[in-house]
Amino acid sequence: MRVMVTGAAGMLGRAVTAEYAGRKAEVIALGRHELDVTDLGRARRVIGAHRPDIVVNCAAYTNVDGAETEIRRAFLCNGLGARNLAVACRETGAVLVHISTDYVFDGKKSGPYGIYDDPRPLNVYGSSKLWGERALALIEGRYYLVRTSWLFGPGGNNFVTTLLRLVQGGGEVRVVNDQTGSPTYTLDLARAVADLTLTGCCGIYHVTNQGNTTWYGFAEEILKKSDLRIVLTPCSTEETGRPARRPQNSVLDPFPLEETVGYLLPAWQDALARYMDSIPGK
């Protein structure tokens, strides 16, 4: 099996690359300099030359607040990039795995979002990811659309490492307590992605670690597992003054993930413990 990973230098790209390599797949790991997904001609040439069986698209513009002003850049990468890969994959017969986000939803639903709930993004980042999702459907190739949320893991900045860095200085740390979602470990997500591609059951999937919490609850668990003592204060999203609006509820319903691959991801607390055990000198 030949697998191409775009955005391979990023946090999720590294995890996906390692997962497939551990399964003895031939992995072609490409960073932005090797494959700029916003360039249709280049996407066609690179995918046409390597002829992968599977392309896992981890390339993304992920600066949620930055997207509010860098609108074109966000839509180029998250929207047009997905379309370009879908076109190139359709032409070569490759299966595309595209990673999307919980932020395509507006957060107004009282319960978890199912795979066919209507997306209504609140911010430019979510809108750009939705553009990519809809482009895949229009191209009509074979694809897996995987929505996930609140990623953490080795090889990149994330909420866990950011919080641990902040608390080293002591004092008070304020954390939002009115957004609810599911923290997701990149290693667990990568395993599920690889298993999904073995099923042949293309479609939309919601893949997160099980359970949900607020960013404040997530922070509490991080501190508990690190044995650090710091004043942690809850605050509202409005108090942070961030440019981009966030959904208050972005919990994703995993159905039919278990019915397809045979399992659900472990609880987010379990995933966090495994990740923190791997951090040197935490």
Write down the H helix ranges in the chain.
11-22, 40-50, 71-74, 81-92, 124-139, 159-167, 186-199, 215-226, 237-240, 257-261, 268-277
**CA-to-CA distance for 168 and 232, rounded, in angstroms?**
13
Q: Is residue 63 within 8 Å of residue 103, measured between CB atoms?
A: no
Catalytic residue among 20, 61, 113, 125: 125
The residue written with tokens 């992995």 in the block is 27
Q: Is 143 an annotated catalytic residue?
A: no
Q: Is residue 132 within 8 Å of residue 98, measured between CB atoms?
A: yes
Name the token pair of 103. Answer: 């932020």
Name the token pair of 61. Answer: 């513009």
φ, ψ of residue 148 in degrees (nearest 5): -140, -175
What DSSP element (H or E) covers 141? none
Question: Any idea which residues carry the catalytic annotation?
Answer: 125
